[in-house]
Amino acid sequence: MQLNPSRERRNCTLKRYSGVDRSLTSKYILKPFYTHVVIKCFPMSMAPNLITLTGFMFVVANFLTLLWYNPTLDQDCPSWVYYSWAVGLFLYQTFDAVDGAQARRTKQSGPLGELFDHGVDALNTCLEVLIFAGSQNMGQSWYTVATLFASLQTFYVQTWDEYHTKTLTLGIVNGPVEGILVLVGVYALTGYKGGASFWQQPMLPTLGVSSAIAPLPEKIYNFSFTEWYMVQGTIVLVWNTFESAQNVIRARRARGDRSRGALLGLGPFFAIWSLVVTYLYLQPTIRTNHLVPFAIFAGVVNAYSVGQMITAHLVLLKFPYFNVLGLPLLFGVVDSLGPILQANFGFGWPSALGDGVYQVAFMFCMLGAAIGVYGSFVVDVIVTLCDYLDIWCLTIKHPYIEGETNKKAA
């Protein structure tokens, strides 16, 4: 999606951010803490987007320690690593929440802040999934893939909901507030218990719940903490998706629009992920040996889709159904499918990449292409909006001076 500054000035109106946070934790605990304590730590000269980016650096630091101590996602780390993950994630949440207050305090609120905030959150979602998988010793398994799918779908659906309802709605219990605090607690508890292998124990027996109290089949009774997390996550994912769909349907019907077309907006995500799952199934070496870079690729693809939606929402463009980053993934699936069809059905085509080093190289090429496409998109949108609004992204170009404002008003 390319933006032309002159065209946007003539034909588009930038939409202001609208959000509703119903979280009781946020209302009675976090917001007073942010308002009366945290915000005072930041000078008036610090740009809100710089606060957002600084907070994201804590997650990047967490991810780097993950790569150093647990690159395969199935090894125990020193206890301090898990504690640092808890602190880093809490600081990310704090900085991510305070940037809005800083924008209002410095009179720098605007659409670029919403776009920048959502873009950082989209990248954090992918990295946090890998960190969480490392905190559970999930390894390079389908459990990690499923967790990545659920997290990215939640973020995509939430953004899709915001595009159609024009408002970001967070429920009484939501991911950006309670969900992150739960992860902070999980990381801290993992460090206290001495390693991620703790979560691979059967949950009910470990908690002292006998089979007489919980009359379940033996296999389910012996589910590990991680497996019970997957069950809980599935329920929450289905519920959140259903709730967002209901929000979109109600909002469009209230405006007299059809809801059928809006629901098609979920199609691009599931189309991409059908290719992701198929590719990982056809190329098990990618899943078992190179899942971390592939997960980053999938996260960047989702971030690009989300970025397109947010940009379309801000400048009132049509919903973006096409994601060019799905094309190399489609090629990988088609290339991998040919030899299987030849072997089982007598027709097909030879693989151009095989299943060895060239396949791995292709996967890294996909990652590089995704970073390049998404990076150029981000730069293009930021430069265009900064030019249109006459602002800078990471510094304050026009500081707010109350006296001058009053003179202009007079």
Residue 279: strand, helix, or coil: helix
Per-residue pLDDT reduced to its tens digit, 63-84? 999 999 999 999 999 999 999 9
- In this prediction, residue 399 has a pLDDT band, given cuts at 50, 70 and 90, of confident
Q: What mean pLDDT do residues 241-259 have?
A: 85
Asked if 140 and 292 count as a contact pair (C-beta separation under 8 A), the reply is yes
* pLDDT reading at 6 higher than 50: no
Distances, alpha carbon 249 to alpha carbons 19, 264, 271, in Å: 18, 12, 22
The pLDDT assigned to 9 comes to: 40
Mean pLDDT score, 195-212: 90
Among 36, 118, 290, 313, the active-site one is 118
What's the pTM value of the predicted model, to 2 decimals? 0.91
pLDDT band at 250 (very low <50, low <70, confident <90, very high): confident
**Worst-scoring range by mean pLDDT, 166-175, 190-199, 366-375?**
166-175
Nearest to 121 by CA among 177, 176, 170, 185: 176
CA–CA separation, 26 and 402 (whole Å): 30
Q: Please write the tens of the pLDDT for every residue from 88-121.
A: 999 999 999 999 889 989 988 888 888 899 899 9
- Asked if 53 contacts 119 with a C-beta cutoff of 8 angstroms, the reply is no
pLDDT at 402 over 70: no
Quickly list DSSP for 178-239: IIHHHHHHHHHHHHHHTSGGGGGSBHHHHTT--TTTS---HHHHT-BHHHHHHHHHHHHHHH
**pLDDT-based confidence at residue 175 (cuts at 50, 70, 90):** confident
More confident residue, 292 or 236: 292
Mean pLDDT of the region 350-373:
94
Q: Are 57 and 155 in contact (CB under 8 A)?
A: no
The question of whether 398 is a catalytic residue gets the answer: no
